[in-house]
């Protein structure tokens, strides 16, 4: 157990739908990062939050959004889903020099 908790582990949904992925960081970590991993693209950085504020954006689509709550857990919202959004979605939390990943959510869009 890495200390970073992601739910759900698996999600199957239809095109056009909206889903929410959840991440609880390690105790004491203020930063949360979201990554998407597909077979051909590798791990792609989506967005970072630090202590509730958006800190950096990567290759995140406009259909995707995220937020970090006062208890530091984070949610990634994916809407108008397309087949190409099928991927593993990882959350990571960090302290200086240390980035720890969760076990991921496997999203399948059918």
Task: Give the footprint of another protein on this chain (CB under 8 A).
Answer: 2, 4, 33, 35, 41-45, 48, 50, 55-56, 58, 88, 90, 92, 97-104, 106
Of 25 and 102, which CB lies nearer to another protein in the complex structure?
Answer: 102
Give a three-class secondary structure readout of the chain: CCCCEEECCEEEECCCCCEEEEEECCCCCCEEEEEEEECCCEEEEEEEEECCEEEEECCCCCCEEEEECCCCCEEEEECCCCHHHCEEEEEEEEECCEEEECCCEEEEEC
CB of 15 to another protein, least distance (A): 23
CB of 11 to another protein, least distance (A): 14
Of 95 and 110, which CB lies nearer to another protein in the complex structure?
Answer: 95
CB of 25 to another protein, least distance (A): 13
Q: Are 63 and 80 in contact (CB under 8 A)?
A: yes
CB of 16 to another protein, least distance (A): 26
């Amino acid at each position: 157990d890495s200390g970073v908790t992601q739910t759900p582990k698996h999600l199957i949904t239809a095109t056009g739908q909206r889903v929410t992925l959840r991440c609880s960081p390690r105790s004491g970590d203020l930063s949360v990062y979201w990554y998407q991993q597909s077979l051909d693209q590798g791990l792609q950085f989506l967005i970072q939050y630090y202590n509730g504020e958006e800190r950096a954006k990567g290759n995140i689509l406009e259909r995707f959004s995220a937020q970090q709550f006062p208890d530091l857990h984070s949610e990634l919202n994916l809407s108008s889903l397309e087949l190409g959004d099928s991927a593993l979605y990882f959350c990571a939390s960090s302290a200086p020099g240390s980035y720890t990943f969760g076990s991921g959510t496997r999203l399948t869009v059918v």
